Amino acid sequence: MKARTAEDAAFHQRYVEMHLKVDKAGILALWTEDGVDLMPGDAAMVGQKKISACVEEIVAKMRATK
């Protein structure tokens, strides 16, 4: 397995920070139009629009439980 580079580690740190801040715009900016999200137990989500809709749904559910 390839060792994580400093660039990979920095990206991962920013990614985690965006999620902790619920920075939807930042999170979604990482996805390209043809990006693929592979969530365990779910079908693959293909495309920025589908991924964006999923993120919006998750955030709405989070807000509803507060």
Please write the tens of the pLDDT for every residue from 15-51.
Answer: 899 989 988 899 888 888 999 998 889 899 999 999 8
pLDDT bucket at 55, cuts 50 / 70 / 90: confident
Q: What is the pLDDT of residue 59?
A: 83
Q: What is the pLDDT of residue 4?
A: 72
How far apart are the C-alpha atoms of 19 and 15, rounded to whole Å?
6
Q: What is the pLDDT of residue 45?
A: 92
Q: What is the pLDDT of residue 44?
A: 93
In order of start, what are the domains of the chain with their CATH numbers?
6-64 (3.10.450.50)
How far apart are the C-alpha atoms of 62 and 37, rounded to whole Å?
20
Q: What is the pLDDT of residue 61?
A: 87
